Structure 1
Amino acid sequence: MARFHTLRVAAVDRLTDDSVALTFAVPPELREAYRYTPGQHLALRRLVDGVEVRRTYSICAPAPVPGDDGPRTLRVGVRLVDGGAFSTYALKEVNLGDELEVMTPAGRFTLDPAPGLYAAVVGGSGITPVLSIVSTLLAREPEARFCLIRSDRTAASTMFLEEVADLKDRYPERLQLVTVLSREEQQAGLPSGRLDEERLTGLLPALLKVDEVAGWFLCGPYGLVQGAERALRGLGVPRTRIHEEIFHVDSEGAPRPQGSTPAHSTVTARLDGRGGTWPVQDGESLLDTVLRNRPDAPYACKGGVCGTCRAFLVSGEVRMDRNFALEPEETEAGYVLACQSHPATEKVELDFDR
């Protein structure tokens, strides 16, 4: 089960005018608990006017080497969101030595290093988990190659610019780097403009042999990720080779299905070895029902994006408003996002421990 622990801020590094990297020190007794796979994220929480606020940020550092005692530090990238309660705090108030509550690593947008060719299409802060994936892969697997296609507004707004450049210098033959700026012309490279489905359909086959890529990692705003997926599927890439993580969902996101909760609905949930059954209020998500009775239920974003609240549907039926976190294989196997799920039958049973 994911747990929160209080960690000390060991470094605060300004990346751009609107982004920062926070590094946390991990004490020896917690290092095994914070061992992570490249691509995973951390949830941070704090109280704002008496209300708990949680936000999820991806780890951007190489993963610890198997067999060691776990990470001594954890580094995440934070980009300012207009009106964001946590991102504003992170950029303007967090200082060296501060203590924050940090959840143990979670997420399935990951890659276990193996030989082969891999590729990513990322936009903006979507570089954060992919930076961990690329740096870990190239360091551990001498037979691995990676093609990184990144889109940013301008050079000045590009997160981890120096870190990616250092990787390119370290692995010039194994890392192919392609940068596209949507609002600024470059002296060399591709013309400016958005990376949409049409452009990617023509660009990707010109950069690499699409059918030889063992895994595609798409990360960033909803529109970019969906456009990249459609381009790849149109080029014949199997869905099983495409991995997605959405960072921002706005008006172009999927519509929310409508429906009422059946009368006298209950949810039975198993969590950390203990179970209980509780009534579901009309319009309430299953996660909110569980949280009213088990405050330790896992969640981070409540937006269907991070996947922290994933649970196995043991019995009954649910309707899920939106899903930007679970792979098709996971939903087919019976997993749902509790924060987006509402009962479609009077009795529903969830297992958070599976």
Structure 2
Amino acid sequence: MAESTPSPAPSSAAVAPRPARHGAFHRLTVAAVDRLTDDSVALTLQVPPELRAEYRHAPGQHLTLRRSTPEGVEIRRTYSICSPAPEPGGPGPAQLRVGVRLVEGGEFSTFAHKEVAAGDVLDVMVPAGRFVLDPAAAPDAGHYAAIVGGSGITPVLSIAASLLAARPDARFCLVRSDRTAASTMFLEEVADLKDRYPDRFQLVTVLSREEQEAGLPSGRLDEERLKSLLPALLPVAEVTGWFLCGPYGLVLGAEQALGALGVGRNRIHEEVFHVEDATVPAPAAASAAAAASCGQVTARLDGRSGTWPVREGESLLDAVLRNRADAPYACKGGVCGTCRAFVVRGEVRMDRNFALEAEETEAGFVLACQSHPVTDEVEIDFDR
């Protein structure tokens, strides 16, 4: 996940294992820093034996990394795990690898590129996220596809590698969009998948700002282009699950293209990595009564509950954080889904949501960082 970041998963996509303790951080040693492109690196983190069970992860999950600036400001950023998931029933991973793309003005990505070195120790939250695919739950001869942009390759690399290794009958088609060949992350890792699974892994690369000697013409992967491209690549109607990951514009265009091609919403799984505010519709205006409501929140977290007042204009997450510093969060922008909670009682409104699927919101889940109380009393559960 890039510097912001996920979304859920129905049917064949598994319900990802939830950590035993929400928001738990551990100090992990950086084993290696590998430069992937001029503006991206991969960080390999060493997991000691006593923590490996806590860092078991499903293909597609992410890690939240934390640091404090010299001024004492805490910064959290979420990055997807690109390494394959450990085998079921086996020990947890000895190492975890994440990709970090440099974001202009990004405090953590700049730190990762300029300061982090092998031997350093970082605060790392246990894996989270529901943009996942469980190979064990995949149907026989399952056919999967992904449309990714830029660093959106990161979780999909883990998903594809884990699926193809675990299921000899599975197929995977990867459509990836990058600006130029030089800016393409994990080139060698994707090429290795093609070499290992030539009959089951299909790769299509589109460069938006550079012509290729062979392959598709350059240009953006927008809705119209995808509507004509996808049916020429694979039997769209037979694909078991579609995984869309990258910038908001690409994910939205791919979702609309698939909808126009007759793909059911329950077969589409999304994770947004970067949202340009100018491209996103403004949140619907809240009623005057809702906007003025403060009330109180009761929150259940790791088996313990508490009730606290919500200050005017404050989100439910911020109200809980004033009293429970271990409340789970990362981006606070409605993108990563780390603060997902279930509304047990009362009514809330969300400013924006790029992490929860319609099925989740209909079931009563919200993003605590974007939620404000509408009723005087609200009860939420982070443990669901």
Asked if the contact 2:86/2:92 (under 8 Å) is kept, the reply is yes
Asked if the contact 1:154/1:182 (under 8 Å) is kept, the reply is yes
Counterpart residue number, 1:142: 168
Counterpart residue number, 1:175: 201
Asked if the contact 1:254/1:322 (under 8 Å) is kept, the reply is no
**Which residue, out of 78, 100, 108, partners 1:78?**
100
Asked if the contact 1:323/1:337 (under 8 Å) is kept, the reply is yes
Q: How does 1:224-239 map to 2 (within 5 A)?
A: 224-239=250-265
In structure 2, distance between residues paired with 1:153 and 1:232: 23
CA RMSD of superposed structures (Å): 0.9
1:257-276 deviation per Cα after TM superposition (whole angstroms, max 9, x unaligned): 33354445111111111111
In structure 1, distance between residues paired with 2:258 and 2:55: 34
Q: Secondary structure in 1 aligned to 2:240?
A: strand
Query: Greater shift after overlay, 235-244 or 112-121?
Result: 112-121
Counterpart residue number, 2:112: 90
Asked if the contact 1:262/1:345 (under 8 Å) is kept, the reply is no
Asked if the contact 1:9/1:97 (under 8 Å) is kept, the reply is yes
- Larger proportion of strand: 1
Asked if the contact 2:294/2:373 (under 8 Å) is kept, the reply is no
Q: Does 1:332 align with 2:382?
A: no
Q: Secondary structure in 1 aligned to 2:44?
A: strand
Q: Secondary structure in 2 aligned to 1:307?
A: coil
Counterpart residue number, 2:375: 345
Q: Does 1:278 align with 2:339?
A: no
Question: What amino acid does structure 1 have at the position aligned with 2:223?
Answer: E
1:193-247 deviation per Cα after TM superposition (whole angstroms, max 9, x unaligned): 0000000000000000001000000000000000000000110000000000000
Query: Greater shift after overlay, 117-126 or 268-277?
Result: 268-277
Q: Which runs of 5+ in 2 are unaligned?
A: 1-20
Q: Does 1:46 align with 2:91?
A: no
**Which residue, out of 184, 192, 204, partners 1:158?**
184
In structure 1, distance between residues paired with 2:98 and 2:280: 25
Q: Secondary structure in 2 aligned to 1:76?
A: strand
Asked if the contact 2:244/2:271 (under 8 Å) is kept, the reply is yes
Asked if the contact 1:45/1:101 (under 8 Å) is kept, the reply is yes
Query: Greater shift after overlay, 320-329 or 174-183?
Result: 320-329
Question: What amino acid does structure 2 have at the position aligned with 1:217?
Answer: F
Asked if the contact 2:61/2:128 (under 8 Å) is kept, the reply is yes
Q: Does 1:256 align with 2:283?
A: yes
**Aligned sequence identity (%):** 75
In structure 1, distance between residues paired with 2:292 and 2:188: 54
What stretches of structure 1 move > 6 A for 4+ residues in a row? none
Q: Does 1:199 align with 2:217?
A: no
**Which residue, out of 31, 44, 50, partners 1:23?**
44
In structure 2, distance between residues paired with 1:230 and 1:122: 15
**Which residue, out of 125, 128, 148, partners 1:106?**
128
What's the TM-score once normalised by structure 1's chain length? 0.99
